Chains A and B, each alone.
Chain A
Amino acid sequence: MFKFRDLKIGLFFLSFSLIFAFLLVPTIQEDWAHSSKGRIQSYTLGPRFFPYLAAGLMGLLSIMLIVQNLRPHKLKINEDKLPPRKNEFYPVLAFMSMGMAYIIILPFIGVPLATPLCLFCFFWYFGNRNWTWILLFAMGVTVFIYGVFEKLMGIPLPMGILNRLWTFS
Chain B
Amino acid sequence: MDIFLNQLGLALQGTNLLILFIATIVGIIIGAIPGLTVNMAVALCVPLTIHFPLAPSLCMLFALYASGIYGGSISAILVNTPGTPASAATTIDGFVMAQQGKAGKALKMALFASFCGGIISVIILVAVAQNLANVALKFGPAERSTLLLFALTIVGVLSGKSIIKGLLAGSLGLIAATVGADPMLAVPRFTFGRLELEEGFGYIPLLIGLFALSEIFQQAEDRMQTNIRSLRSIKSRNKEDESLTLQDILLSWKTIIRSSLLGTFIGILPGIGATVACFLGYGEAKRAAKNPELFGQGTVEGVAASEAANNAVTGSALIPLLSLSIPGDSVTAILYGALLIQGVTTGPLIFQNQIDAVYLIYITLTMANIAMVIVGYSFMSFFTKVTDIPRNILFPIIFIFCVIGSYSIRNSIFDIFVMMAFGIIGYFMRRLAIPVVPMLIAFILAQPFEEAMSQALVGSEGNPTVFVNSPISVFFLFLTVFSIWFTLRRSFQEKKG
Contacts and interface: CB of A to CB of B under 8 A. Distances in A.
Contact of B396 (A20, A88, A111, A122): A122
A99 B423 CA distance: 11
Contacts of A141: 397, 400
Given A28-B189, A29-B187, A137-B393, A55 B400 contact: no
B420 A51 contact: no
A32 interface: yes
B253 to A, nearest CB: 39
For chain A, which range describes its interface: under 10, 10 to 19, 20 to 34, or 35 or more residues? Answer: 35 or more
Interface stretch (B25-33, B162-170, B236-244): B162-170
A99 B390 CA distance: 20
B404 A157 contact: yes
A84 interface: yes
A145 B404 contact: yes
Contacts of B223: 91, 126-127
B424 interface: yes
A128 B394 CA distance: 12
Interface in A32-85: 32, 37, 40-47, 50-51, 53-55, 57-58, 61-62, 64-65, 68, 71, 74, 78, 80-81, 83-84
A92 interface: yes
A102 B403 contact: yes
B446 interface: yes
Contacts of B198: none
A133 B390 CA distance: 11
A111 B434 CA distance: 35
A4 interface: no
Q: Is the interface of A mostly helix, strand, loop or mixed?
A: helix
Interface residues of B, number: 65
B304 interface: no
Contacts of B161: 80
Interface of B: 48, 51, 161-162, 164-165, 167-168, 171-172, 174-175, 177-178, 182, 184-185, 187-190, 216-218, 220-225, 390, 392-393, 395-397, 399-401, 403-404, 407-408, 411, 413, 416-417, 420, 424, 427, 431-434, 446, 450, 453-454, 457-458, 460-462, 491, 495
Q: Which 9 A-B pairs have the closest CB atoms?
A: A122-B396, A54-B174, A126-B392, A47-B182, A58-B171, A47-B187, A43-B462, A95-B220, A44-B454
19 contacts: A43-B458, A46-B185, A47-B182, A47-B187, A47-B189, A50-B178, A54-B446, A58-B172, A61-B167, A74-B495, A81-B433, A83-B431, A88-B221, A92-B217, A99-B420, A103-B416, A115-B400, A118-B400, A145-B400
